Amino acid sequence: MFVEQSVARLWRVRTAFVLLCLFPAVGLVTWAVQRSSAAHRAAVANAAAKLLGTTVTIEQLTHPQPGCFRLSGVQIGGTNLPAVEVETTPDEIRLRLETLTCTPETVPLVVAVIRRWLNEPAGFDRNCVLDIGQLSWGQAESAADLNRPLRVECVAAGTGRAVRIFSVGMPADELRIVRTQAEAPGSVPTAERLEVEASLSQAMPAAIVAAACGELFLGQWKLGQQALIEGRLQAALAGGHWSGEAAGTITQVDLAQMTASLPNSLEGLASISVEELVWAGSRLSAVDCVCTAPRGGVDQAWLEGLVSIMGCRPATAFRDPLNGGFRDFERLGCRVTIDASGVRLRALPQQAGCLVESQGLPLVKEPVGEASLDRLAWLLSGTAPPAVPGTPMTAWLLSVLPLPRTSR
């Protein structure tokens, strides 16, 4: 009897050891091996690719703690990223990057992800937060890096979804995008509205802004790799048309690149101060800006066009008998005002009406009156009135310039 009880007790202990210790240990080891396997990395990469809409590869994946994993050797859409920490909860996904280099090539990828998050709530069912320890523009020669954390918050509430990008410690620098969808009367089931607000107190490379905006604002103009932008923007998309206003400054504008698509060229580095920029229905309605350049060159054809098309007055050095082609200048400055009534070119104060000066002599003086909007399109497209707009630049200008009052 004593032997039988000892044997039964021994089997019970062995069974308990197998059930409570061995099986969990084997299961834990199996789970750990599976989590560190190439198949698991491929599954995570495929899930991320499906979510982001682009190719994703991961070289290494570790799980430092439950609900958190660390990715190394990450490549998204051909862009290499440093180590990424991902922490997930039922309501939120939080990503952390120590550094990120933002270039005109990587910005479209970020814009595409933000657009998917705003427009595809079924695929992105949780709030997302991205914390970047230090952001670099990748253009040290033209702009200082942001030596402070940057945060991207993607949140949802009801039918609305919003993205907020801001520099931690600098509340004045912020980009906010809000998408709302509400019931609309009639046969249309929903009405969609997209609002964008941006405030930049620290200069940002214009190439980055152009890459983010696409063809919306700066798509037709290349401002150069050194150009910097700062200012504010408020815009709204409703019914398929954009409306809004903006103000700010653009410095170190490369005039040669800016005019590369035009028939005549300019050279030099310029600064553009936008006092007012208002558009409605995807058309400009008011523009008030000041353009200055300390030195550079101008094609004589520009001067001829300013006189014959825009009504400017030829000055003392309007023509040079020894140089009828490209002219050097030591000062360029003008104020441009555009609205439905036309275009007005004015010289800056203290310049006695002179728009361009060379060797202390005026080349062109401001016009007496204003010019019609179609004449500005003719000037920039290299055609002469009365011309039928036949160039892509003319067509684009006439599609965005204000509608003249006579055509309303």
- Residue 280 domain-assigned? yes
Of 22-31, 88-97, 392-401, the poorest mean pLDDT is in: 22-31
Instruction: Please indicate, yes or no, whether residues 258 and 358 belong to a single structural domain of this protein.
Output: yes
Domain limit, last residue, from 64, 88, 112: 88
pLDDT at 18 over 60: no
**Bond before 386 cis per omega within 30 degrees:** yes
Q: Which amino acid is at 74?
A: V
pLDDT band per the 50, 70, 90 thresholds, residue 407: very low
Mean pLDDT on 258-280: 89
Tell me how many domains the chain contains. 3
Mean pLDDT on 367-384: 82
Instruction: Please indicate, yes or no, whether residues 61 and 122 belong to a single structural domain of this protein.
Output: no
Select the more confidently predicted residue: 379 or 22: 379
pLDDT of residue 287: 93
pLDDT at 99 over 60: yes
- Residue 6 domain-assigned? no
pLDDT band per the 50, 70, 90 thresholds, residue 80: confident
3-state secondary structure of 111: helix
Percent of the residues in the chain that have a pLDDT greater than 90, as a whole number: 18
Instruction: Please indicate, yes or no, whether residues 303 and 381 belong to a single structural domain of this protein.
Output: yes
Mean pLDDT on 104-130: 81
pLDDT at 37 over 70: no
pLDDT of residue 293: 94
Half-sphere exposure of 15 (CA within 13 A, CB side): 6
Instruction: Please indicate, yes or no, whether residues 98 and 84 belong to a single structural domain of this protein.
Output: no
Mean pLDDT on 182-209: 75
pLDDT of residue 265: 85
Select the more confidently predicted residue: 14 or 331: 331
Instruction: Please indicate, yes or no, whether residues 140 and 209 belong to a single structural domain of this protein.
Output: yes
pLDDT of residue 333: 93
pLDDT at 359 over 90: no
pLDDT of residue 186: 56
pLDDT of residue 219: 52
Select the more confidently predicted residue: 146 or 262: 262
Q: What is the CA radius of gyration of the chain?
A: 30
- Residue 234 domain-assigned? no
Mean pLDDT on 326-342: 91
3-state secondary structure of 358: strand
Instruction: Please indicate, yes or no, whether residues 133 and 206 belong to a single structural domain of this protein.
Output: yes
Domain limit, last residue, from 55, 88, 121: 88
* Structural element, H or E, at residue 52: helix 38-52
Instruction: Please indicate, yes or no, whether residues 208 and 311 belong to a single structural domain of this protein.
Output: no
Per DSSP, helices labelled H in 79-194 are 107-119
pLDDT at 216 over 60: no
- Residue 5 domain-assigned? no
pLDDT of residue 255: 92
pLDDT at 34 over 60: no
pLDDT of residue 109: 81
Select the more confidently predicted residue: 34 or 13: 13
pLDDT of residue 141: 45
- Residue 297 domain-assigned? yes
pTM: 0.80
pLDDT of residue 377: 82
Contact (Cβ atoms closer than 8 angstroms) between residue 195 and residue 235: yes
Residue 98 has a CB neighbour count (10 Å cut-off) of 12
Give residue 79's domain range.
38-88
pLDDT band per the 50, 70, 90 thresholds, residue 1: very low
pLDDT tens across 140-182, in order? 444 444 566 888 888 887 778 888 888 877 767 888 888 887 6
Instruction: Please indicate, yes or no, whether residues 306 and 397 belong to a single structural domain of this protein.
Output: yes
pLDDT tens across 299-321, in order? 988 899 899 889 999 988 888 77
Give the contacts of 365 (CB within 8 A, at least 6 positions apart): 312, 313, 314, 315, 347, 353, 354, 355
pLDDT of residue 331: 92
- Residue 103 domain-assigned? yes
Q: What is the DSSP string of 217-240?
A: SSTT----TT-EEEEEEEEEEETT
252-291 per-residue burial string, b: 16 or more CB within 10 A, e: under 16:
bbbbbbbbeebebbbbbbbbbbbeebbbeeeebbebbbbb
pLDDT of residue 295: 92
